[in-house]
Structure 1
Amino acid sequence: MAILKQDLSFLKNNVKQVDAEMFTSKIRGIMDSHAPQTSRTVTDRTSSPWFSVESKAVKQARRGTERKWNKSGLEIDKQIYLYHKKQVRGINLTAKREYYNLKFSEVQNSKDFFNLSNELLGKDKNTKLPKSIKSELLPDTFGDFFIEKIEKLRHTLVSDFNHDEDFDDSQSDASTLSTLSPVTNDDVKTTILSAVSKHCDLNPMPIYLLKNC
């Protein structure tokens, strides 16, 4: 942190000569020298609805025994790994069976039954298109629908705009902002430090780091 503060001292000592573009450039350079940006690939796997806490625990235990076996190469570690592998398969099968048994017991009609069956069998849902229109006419029908909808929206916006032009604000009692009270550097600093330390990708440096420096 001390080295980071030292690197940022240039900006603090030359605050009047630093514009927004230079500030961003300097901050990004400092961040690249202290914490170079790296990238990594993260696989996002959605857990199955029947995947329970117990399933997660035995799966983690299996991975631990697998790593130990790969590292040692001993037969005993291999047998321990195979035991945990079999245990994971059995627990997952039981959890999946109980989940779908409960789901089927809650089915109220044939539609829900077939939907649940298709989900269990991994069948994709077919896109339902209107049967009253010939398939060769569907693209033009959809296109005409959206064109007409856009034209209606434009007509509504133009009508609202013309209505606003006719509005006379001379009789409005709304107050106007004519002057601004001057603020000092301490006022700005106090406001910034008291604000919530939020951060987005557009910021060259995390706000909490900048505040601490």
Structure 2
Amino acid sequence: MEQVQNYLPRIGDPAPTFEAVTTHGNISLDDYKGSWVILFSHPADFTPVCTTEFMAFQAIYPELKKLNVELLGLSIDSVHSHIAWVRNIEEKFGVKIEFPIIADLNKEVAIKYGMLMPEGNSTETSRAVFIIDDKQIVRAIIYYPLSTGRNMDEILRVVKALQTTDAHGVATPANWNPGDKVIVPPAKTQEAAEERMKDETLECVDWYFCKKSL
């Protein structure tokens, strides 16, 4: 079996640059500077779970665009296969896929992003999701097994949480959704900790655990 050398970037790393052929023509990651990007891979065209995912990604695409987020799909299939599959989805399911799909036949992008599983079939990319911010920094990485379709609500939630953190300098608790209280970063001095407990705009359980509404 062919051995795959992965170069999985870490959260906080610059997103690996690339140029690629897509269903919308040639693109590079640099084309998306100033926008957030969700780069996601799928195992193969014309497969049932992937088909449901592409329709689900398309369903959230308008909301993502409002958040200044672009979508990029990817698999190790030819651009002709991608085009045929997109046309099939529109014909059979009535869903028009509006975002580009990378035809990564040489596996260049997949290897740069660690999308190939060494113990698996090296001709199929995993269900990976990379959330890249407008400065082209990797902010979140999510992997799913081949048998499990992705949760679009969670992907949207993560994007909104990251953008909230950037805009307000806060963190978001478990199960956070927009409108919920956010977590204020812990105080860094004893004096600040004491002052925090007197702040009526905060909901503090203790000096290190305070929430507030935005």
**TM over 0.5: same fold?**
no
Normalising TM by the smaller chain, what interval?
A: under 0.3
Q: What is the TM-score with the length of structure 2 in the denominator?
A: 0.17
**Structure (1 or 2) with the larger CA radius of gyration:** 1
Name whichever structure is richer in strand by fraction.
Answer: 2
